[in-house]
Structure 1
C-alpha cells in the first residue's frame, strides 16, 4: 500500500514529510482490514462456540454446541475501516476532503496580499 499511496500523495502537493506517521497509520490499518477480511473469508462471519461437557455417570467428555459468536475479525474490520475513513480525510483521499482542499486553494487566490491590507491597495 505504501508504494502505491505515497506517489499519489506526493503528486497532490498537500502532503509533506511531517505527514509520514499519518500515512504509516493509514497503511497499517489497511493491512489490518485486509487480514480481517481474509479471516472472515476463511472462517466465516460467525464462529461456533462449543463447551466441554462431562458425562456424570461415565466420566466421558465431549464437545457440545453452545451457540455462535461474531468472528473477532469483524471487529477488527469495523475499527480499521473507521480509522481508514478518518485518516483518508486527513490525507485528502476522500471526495469531501479534496473539495475542501480545492476550496482552500480558491480562497487563497481571493485574499488580498499584505501590501493591499496595509495600504488599502494604494501606492504611496
Structure 2
C-alpha cells in the first residue's frame, strides 16, 4: 500500500500526468546573472617547471574553451544565476582535469613499470573519479538528453510572442 503522506517528485508528476489536478509547485526562480569567466591561473598557475607549465597552459585553455562553450548554451536553455558560478567553475575544472589524465594515459600508457613490476597508471583511478563527478555535473546542469527533460527554458517577458 502506498504511503498517503509521501508525495511524488514534481518531475514524476509532470512525466506521468496529474490525474488529481492538484497544483504542481513551481521550482525556485532566481534572477538571471551575467557570469564572468574565472581567472584560470588561480587554479592552473604559471610555474617555472617547463613540463608543468605546458600542462597548466593546456588545462587553462581546456577550461576556458569549455566555459565559453557551455555558459551561452546554459544561459539560453535554462538561465543562469549568480549561485551557479561555482558549479560551472567546478564543471570546467573537472573537464580540464579529465583532459590532463587522458593525455597522461596516452603518453605514458595504462600500465607503468614500478618498484614491484608493472602496475596500473595512477591517472586511471583519478580520471575515473573525475568522470563520476562529471556525470553528476552533467545531470545537474541538464547537459545530457535525459537530463534536459527536467528543465524548461527561462521565460522572456516579451509581449511579441503569439504563443503566450
Q: TM-score, normalized by length of structure 1?
A: 0.66
User: What residue is the counterpart of 2:131 in the other structure?
Assistant: 81
When you count helix as a share of all residues, which structure comes out higher? Answer: 1
Out of 107, 113, 131, the position equivalent to 1:42 is 107
Unaligned runs of 5+ in 1: 51-65, 106-124
2-structure distance, mates of 1:26, 1:76: 15
2-structure distance, mates of 1:11, 1:17: 15
RMSD: 1.8
The Cα of 1:15 is off from its aligned counterpart by 2.9
Q: Secondary structure at the match of 2:83?
A: helix
The Cα of 1:67 is off from its aligned counterpart by 1.6
2-structure distance, mates of 1:11, 1:45: 40
Kept in 1, the 8 Å contact 2:78–2:151? The answer is no
When you count strand as a share of all residues, which structure comes out higher? Answer: 1
Q: TM-score, normalized by length of structure 2?
A: 0.51
Q: Secondary structure at the match of 2:149?
A: helix
Kept in 1, the 8 Å contact 2:102–2:127? The answer is yes
The Cα of 1:18 is off from its aligned counterpart by 1.2
1-structure distance, mates of 2:120, 2:111: 4
Runs of 4+ in 1 over 3 A off after TM superposition: none
User: Larger C-alpha radius of gyration, 1 or 2?
Assistant: 1
Unaligned runs of 5+ in 2: 1-65, 155-164
List aligned pairs for 1:58-73, cutoff 5 A. 66-73=116-123
